[in-house]
Amino acid sequence: MSEHVRIERDGAVLAITLARPERRNAITVAMYAALADAIEGAATDDAIRLITLRGEGEDFTAGNDLGDFLAAPPSGSDESDAPVWRLLRALAVNEVPILAEVHGNAVGIGTTLLFHCDLVVAEEGSRFRMPFVDLGLVPEAASSLLMPRLSGRRAAARYLLLGEPFDAAEAKDLGVVSHVAPKGSLNEAFATLQKAILDKPVEALRLTQKLLRTADREEVLARMTLENGHFSERLASDEVKQAIGAFFAKRG
């Protein structure tokens, strides 16, 4: 487990919080392992009716902690090879409704993991960005499949090829989030959605969630495997080393 991922059980709710606010909730390898353990564990607990996902501090997540990620890069495409691949596969096969709350910035995997959440409420002013190409990388989480399906190929090209940022209203229009909360009312909107889910008939809700996911599950998993292989290969490339070196130099 990681001290930067807080897992809390509240009745039928498994609440997951990214708790590394001093680093904008940038996700480390240890955090990926903790997240994967939590999502995989929920699959074996019939008492869990809802998984919630939030970020502590000013941002949802800044995405990968690049320094930590490069120190222990994932190898190959098999989900057993790295915690990040375990997490993505767990999200793809998950059969418990997931409700995510987004505020501030959602960068890289902070955006792509939302494709695997059932409902997402974002606060006005939230910003989303998938800068994989800018870092010499390729998309992950089957986003190269799911975003064109949700938003169309032209929109997917804008946000995956060009890495353009988009706001909460655009995210709703694109299908990345389901609800937008006015500034200052995110917690209230989140609580309302959580109650609405928990008030539904348990088996009907679970079966409906499963039906919504079953049709393309194998295709999603196959695309993840393809993306993961390219991603791992890219990490060893000179192009990535130069791009990430430039990123750190600019930030410094």
Domain ranges of the chain: 5-184
- Residue 221 to residue 234: CA distance in whole angstroms: 20
Around Cβ 216, how many Cβ atoms within 10 Å?
16
pLDDT reported for residue 40: 96
Q: What does the CA dihedral 194, 121, 2, 89 come to, rounded to 10 degrees?
A: 90
Which pLDDT does position 12 carry in this prediction?
Answer: 97
- CA 123 and chain centroid, separation: 16
Task: Determine how β-strand 50-55 pairs with β-strand 119-123.
Answer: unpaired
Predicted local confidence at residue 245, as pLDDT: 86
Q: Which CATH number fits domain 5-184: 3.90.226.10, 3.30.910.20, 3.40.50.10700, 3.40.50.720?
A: 3.90.226.10
Distance CA 28, CA 42 (A): 21
- What confidence score (pLDDT) does residue 195 get? 98
- pTM for the predicted model, two decimal places: 0.94
pLDDT at 249: 79
Query: Given this model, what pLDDT does residue 1 score?
Result: 58
pLDDT recorded at residue 156: 97
Single-letter residue type at 70? L
Taking 50 as the pLDDT cut, the residues of the chain under it are none
52 three-state secondary structure: strand
Which pLDDT score, from 0 to 100, does residue 95 have? 94
Rounded CA Rg of the chain: 17
Question: How far is C-alpha 125 from the geometric centre of its chain's CA atoms?
Answer: 19
pLDDT of residue 102: 98
Instruction: Please state the separation of Cα 186 from the chain's center in Å.
Output: 18
Q: Considering only CA atoms, which of 206, 188, 187, 210 is closest in space to residue 197?
A: 206
